[in-house]
Amino acid sequence: MGSVDFVVNGARHVFDGDGNTSLLEVLRDTLGLKGSRLGCGANQCGACFVLVDGAVAASCDTPLWAVHNKSVTTVEGLGRPGSPHPLQAAFIAEQAAQCGYCTSGILIAAAGLLARCPKPNEDDIRSALGRNLCRCGSHNRVIRAVLRASGQAV
């Protein structure tokens, strides 16, 4: 494949390199979007999650050619410092992040959930975040934050 044409956080990009380059590498090294992180490199931990046309995807093992003519949303595309996404505000209010390494992937997975299920219950949230590994033990606060972002009492 020649160039890869795709949209990231609302901005169109054209990549003329190797289409087999991982989406994560292009996001971090070419576009300077450092929010998505390399954890396991094998789609097993969720640290690199992004939304591709609204669906959660592991950017570490997604070749760039797979996002040709698609829209990618990273954690940087969820909100802005002065206007955080409801999930970002809820994570702050619930103190749902510890070290922060996994947080961007969890926020993306939760945003994908809320887009398809605006009022999830705790089981829905646990299922949607089941692929996200967090070693800091903030799981209960994360659940509360997602419930808060969905407008449900915590």
Q: How confident is the model at residue 2 (pLDDT cuts 50, 70, 90)?
A: confident
Q: Give one word for 54, left, alpha or beta, with left for phi > 0 and alpha for psi -120 to 50.
A: left
Q: What are phi and psi of 50, to 5 degrees?
A: -135, 170
Average pLDDT over residues 136-143: 91
- Mean of per-residue pLDDT scores for the chain: 95
Q: Is the pLDDT of residue 1 over 60?
A: no
The confidence score (pLDDT) of residue 152 equals: 86
Q: How confident is the model at residue 51 (pLDDT cuts 50, 70, 90)?
A: very high
Nearest to 27 by CA among 50, 57, 3: 50
- Would 4-77 and 86-149 be classified into the same CATH topology? no
CATH class name, domain 4-77: alpha beta
pTM of the model: 0.94
Q: Is the pLDDT of residue 81 over 90?
A: no
Residue 67: burial class (beta carbons within 10 Å; 0-12, 13-18, 19+)? buried
Domain boundaries, the chain: 4-77, 86-149
The confidence score (pLDDT) of residue 78 equals: 96
Q: Does domain 86-149 have CATH number 1.10.150.120?
A: yes
Please report, for residues 34, 94, 105, 130, the alpha-carbon distance to residue 12 in angstroms, rounded to integers and kept in the order given: 18, 34, 22, 31
**Contact assessment for residue 29 and residue 64, using Cβ atoms and an 8 Å cutoff:** no
Q: How confident is the model at residue 136 (pLDDT cuts 50, 70, 90)?
A: confident
Share of the chain above pLDDT 90, in %: 88
